[in-house]
Amino acid sequence: MSTDRRLYFIRAMYEGLRDAMREDKTVVVIGEDVDRSIIGATRGLIEEFGPERVRNTPISEATFVGACIGASAAGLRPVVDLMVGSFFYVAMDQVANQAAKLPYMSGGQVSLPIVYFTATGPSGSAAAQHSENPHPMLMNVAGLKIVMPSSPCDAKGLMISAIRDPNPVIYLQDAVLGGTRGPVPEEPYSIPIGEAEVKREGEDVTVVAIGALVNRALKVAGEMERDGISVEVVDPRTLVPMDKKTILDSVRKTGRLVVCDNARMTCSAASEIAAFVSEEAFDSLKTAPRRVAWEDVPVPFSPVLEKRVLVDEEKIRAAVESTLATRTRA
């Protein structure tokens, strides 16, 4: 797909929602203040689709997340705006014990086409309770699909795919990407769930980056090219199911792996990717994989301390250089 039209990330999400609602009258949007949309993805939908399909709820995540499970079982396709990623914690029984497990426990007799979407991750001194990236914990809940786009084009295409999917899908919008712009085709289109993309080809090191870290990895790759270091950047786009083949093919070509994940190190997506690469492509590795993730602490409010914890270009570059400096296996 190519286009000269450039949209903000959050507007691309809106277009995906709008196009899916035009396509299917059973698609409804539910959440707190979705008629005006504090963050912006649902702003303007109520003017076209009315309050029957764009419905505000009380501030009770556990209630409306659970209500949408019943609504989807009865034939609707609810799209739930949770607003902030850490609000998943308030509704975890409904997400992990009900939405994720009922299709399995009913032997496939119940289909639950629900999308739970939210802004997630640090956005600049939002403090510990509004800076979470819950994707590692959600990846461990069998029965959920999880997407995390890094560009406006992917944001629209993955939103449409998530809504069309017959299973519960978690759609995570990295909070710092909302105001970024990029090319977005005008017509409806879908990005397949479970399909990674090589954002930049390279020969020396594979960098797998998630969400907003894709752009930072691409910036580092561009800078290191001037030093004669060729970095390949892979964007998983979907965390569950993970496109292992694209990542393994890249590592088998470069022999080195760095994984960048804006989440705590322990049990992170970075840890999972490093683990399956070590198991399935060990004979291709020239040195040990490197993980670039947070220390196991809450995200600080203090700008100085927050910067100390989060993943930035300097940490990505240092990890890439360390894989090149380490003595390679014979």
By the 10 Å C-beta count (0-12 exposed, 13-18 middle, 19+ buried), 25 is classed as exposed
Interatomic CA distance for residues 308 and 279, integer angstroms: 31
* Residue 237 DSSP label: S
Whole-number pLDDT of residue 182: 96
Q: What's the pLDDT band for 241 if we cut at 50, 70, 90?
A: very high
Interatomic CA distance for residues 282 and 292, integer angstroms: 20
Residue 67: strand, helix, or coil: helix
Strand 257-264 relative to strand 197-200: parallel, antiparallel, unpaired? unpaired
Q: Edge-to-edge, what's the strand order for the sheet holding 290-294?
A: 197-200, 231-235, 205-209, 257-264, 290-294
Whole-number pLDDT of residue 169: 98
Cα 297-292-151 angle, rounded to 5 deg = 105
Q: State yes or no: is 130 an active-site residue.
A: yes
Options 77, 130, 145, 237, the catalytic residue: 130
- CA 181 to chain CA centroid, Å, is 17
| Amino acid type, 227 | D
Whole-number pLDDT of residue 2: 63
By the 10 Å C-beta count (0-12 exposed, 13-18 middle, 19+ buried), 105 is classed as exposed
Would you mind telling me the total number of residues written for the chain in this entry? 330
Interatomic CA distance for residues 189 and 160, integer angstroms: 7
pLDDT above 90 as % of the chain: 90
Whole-number pLDDT of residue 3: 78
**Four-CA torsion 298, 179, 45, 147, nearest 10 degrees:** -50
Query: Which residues lie closer than 8 Å to 11 by C-beta, 6 or more apart?
Result: 40, 152, 184
- Give me the domains of the chain, ranges plus CATH numbers: 6-183 (3.40.50.970), 197-325 (3.40.50.920)
Interatomic CA distance for residues 21 and 309, integer angstroms: 40
Interatomic CA distance for residues 128 and 279, integer angstroms: 34
pLDDT in tens, 293-329: 999 999 999 999 999 999 999 999 999 999 998 655 5
Tokens of 316: 């990505």
Q: Which residue has the tokens 């289909």?
A: 111
Whole-number pLDDT of residue 22: 98
Name the pTM for this structure: 0.95
